[in-house]
């Protein structure tokens, strides 16, 4: 595939993201305009819960989905609070919930604590809405813990497993993504992958698409099963589609 073809494929799988601490209504408006780019549209926008209604106003009638985050970014263990936050976000119009797994519980071996969180949110996220579980692989360190977290999230009902919040020193890595894809394949369930954080170039996007093609088979990676969590790669993808030399934009997290 040419760079333009790779970029077009990646663009359709993009969760265009603004989780900056100083996000504004105007920034959400701009994000949604990008998501509706005629070369797209992108798969989704991912915004703070307080901006879900704003995004819905901007995207009404479009195929672009609205994702938001809960238990973010710390991955706490208060199930009631997180399910309340999830219900509020869904009521506001969110189509997709990106839940941070209680990864500290996984690290100390309290798997029941982590599973309870995912299962409770799964019960709240119903109909055609998606649950993406963020493993925070950069904080799990050990490959065995990434395997454990992947299996736990899949068994508890995740529609996607996602690498990272983008708020820690280590975000998505090909090593973590490969472990997660192997877990998805072994599960024989229709679960997707979302690498997130640190993806800034067409080559970065291609690396994750190639991994998915190799492990899951060519054609598996579509917006229904594969997302890229970034805004930093957007300009590079557009530049490649237009045949321009692109430079990595500054990441927006």
162 included as an active-site residue: yes
**What is the residue-wise DSSP string for 14-33?**
EEEEE--TT--HHHHHHHHH
- Note whether 135 and 162 are within 8 A (CB): yes
CA dist 195 and 174 (Å) reads 9
Smallest CA-to-CA distance from 226 within 11, 1, 49 is with: 11
98 included as an active-site residue: yes
- Note whether 244 and 237 are within 8 A (CB): no
CA dist 134 and 125 (Å) reads 15
CA dist 217 and 211 (Å) reads 9
Within 13 Å and on the Cβ side, how many CA atoms surround 80?
0
**Which one is catalytic: 85, 159, 194, 204?**
194
Radius of gyration of the chain (CA): 17
**Which one is catalytic: 18, 98, 159, 204?**
98
- Note whether 131 and 103 are within 8 A (CB): no
53 included as an active-site residue: no
Smallest CA-to-CA distance from 68 within 38, 37, 44 is with: 44
**Which one is catalytic: 18, 132, 162, 204?**
162
User: How many Å from the N-terminal Cα to the C-terminal Cα in the chain?
Assistant: 30
Active site residues: 98, 162, 194
């Amino acid at each position: 595939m040419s760079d333009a073809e790779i970029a077009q494929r990646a663009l359709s799988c993009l969760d265009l993201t603004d989780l900056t601490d100083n996000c504004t209504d105007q920034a959400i408006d701009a994000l949604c305009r990008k998501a509706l780019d005629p070369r797209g549209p992108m798969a989704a926008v991912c915004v703070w819960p307080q901006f879900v209604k704003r995004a819905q106003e901007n995207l009404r009638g479009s195929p672009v989905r609205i994702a938001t985050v809960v238990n973010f970014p710390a991955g706490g263990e208060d199930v009631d609070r997180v399910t309340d936050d999830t219900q509020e976000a869904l009521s506001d119009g969110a189509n997709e919930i990106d839940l941070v797994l209680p990864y500290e519980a996984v690290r100390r071996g309290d798997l029941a604590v982590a599973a309870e969180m995912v299962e409770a949110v799964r019960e709240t996220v119903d109909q055609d809405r998606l649950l993406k579980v963020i493993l925070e692989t950069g904080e799990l360190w050990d490959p065995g813990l990434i395997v454990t977290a992947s299996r736990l999230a899949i068994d508890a009902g995740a529609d996607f497993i996602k690498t990272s919040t983008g708020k820690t020193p280590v975000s998505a890595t090909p090593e973590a993504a490969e472990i997660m894809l192997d877990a998805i394949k072994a599960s024989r369930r229709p679960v997707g992958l979302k690498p997130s954080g640190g993806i800034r170039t067409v080559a970065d996007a291609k690396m994750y698409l190639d991994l998915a093609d190799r492990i899951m088979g060519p054609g598996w990676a579509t917006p229904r099963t594969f997302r890229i969590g970034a805004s930093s790669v957007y300009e590079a993808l557009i530049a490649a589609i237009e045949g321009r030399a692109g430079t990595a934009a500054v990441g927006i997290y």
